[in-house]
C-alpha cells in the first residue's frame, strides 16, 4: 500500500492547532479545584442574593448539589426560612439545577467588622502602656493589642 501524499494529511503533528483543542488541558486543573458552577456562584453572589444578604453571607463550596454558605448565627436561621427561594434564585442564575441543598456554616464574615465594646478603663490603660514609645505603626499596633487584651480581661 502506498502512503497518501502529504497534501492529503489534514493536520501535521507540529503544525498549528485550533485554540479550542488546547482549552480542556488548560482548564482541567482549575476545574478540579473548583467547579465552573461554584466559580459562577462565587463571582455573582451579590447579584444572585442581593446586596443585603451578600454583606452577611459568603458562599464557600458547592459539592454534590450542596452549597455551603458561611454566615453568622442569627442570619442562618433567616436563611433556613428563605432556603427554597434562595435555591431557586441560584439555580435560575446558573440556568440549571446545580444546588439541591443548602448547608449553613457559622463563621465570622470577613466583610463584617468585629465590634468590641468600648471600655474606657482598658483604653486608658493601653494608652498609658505605650505612652513612652515613639509615634508610629508599632505603637499603634501595640496600643490596639493592649485594648483588645485589656477589654477581654475587663469583661
As a whole number, mean pLDDT of residues 22-42 equals 69
pLDDT of 143 reads: 85
As a whole number, mean pLDDT of residues 46-68 equals 87
50-59, 87-96, 102-111: segment of lowest average pLDDT: 102-111
Using a cut of 0.75, tell me whether the model's pTM lies above it: no
Overall CATH class of domain 19-106: alpha beta
- Domain ranges in the chain? 19-106, 120-154
What confidence tens digit (pLDDT) does each residue in 3-22 have? 555 555 555 567 777 777 77
Burial class of residue 69 (count of CB atoms within 10 Å of its CB; 0-12, 13-18, 19+): buried
Give phi and psi for 71, each to the nearest 5: -160, 165
As a whole number, mean pLDDT of residues 46-62 equals 87
**Dist. CA 84–CA 58, nearest whole Å:** 18
* Confidence label for 131 from pLDDT (cuts 50, 70 and 90): confident
CB atoms within 10 A of CB 62: 22
Amino acid at each position: 500500500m502506498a502512503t497518501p501524499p502529504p497534501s492529503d494529511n489534514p493536520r501535521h503533528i507540529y503544525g498549528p492547532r485550533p485554540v479550542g483543542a488546547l482549552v480542556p488541558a488548560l482548564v482541567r486543573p482549575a476545574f478540579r479545584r473548583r467547579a465552573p458552577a461554584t466559580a459562577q456562584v462565587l463571582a455573582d453572589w451579590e447579584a444572585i442574593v442581593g446586596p443585603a444578604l451578600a454583606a452577611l453571607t459568603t458562599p464557600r463550596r458547592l459539592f454534590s448539589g450542596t452549597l455551603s454558605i458561611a454566615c453568622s448565627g442569627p442570619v442562618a436561621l433567616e436563611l433556613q426560612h428563605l432556603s427554597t427561594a434562595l435555591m431557586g434564585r441560584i439555580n435560575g442564575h446558573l440556568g440549571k439545577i446545580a444546588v439541591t441543598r443548602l448547608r449553613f456554616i457559622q463563621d465570622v464574615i470577613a466583610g463584617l467588622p468585629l465590634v468590641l465594646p468600648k471600655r474606657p478603663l482598658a483604653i486608658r490603660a493601653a494608652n498609658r502602656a505605650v505612652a513612652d514609645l515613639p509615634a508610629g505603626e508599632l505603637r499603634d499596633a501595640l496600643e490596639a493589642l493592649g485594648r483588645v487584651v485589656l477589654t477581654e480581661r475587663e469583661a
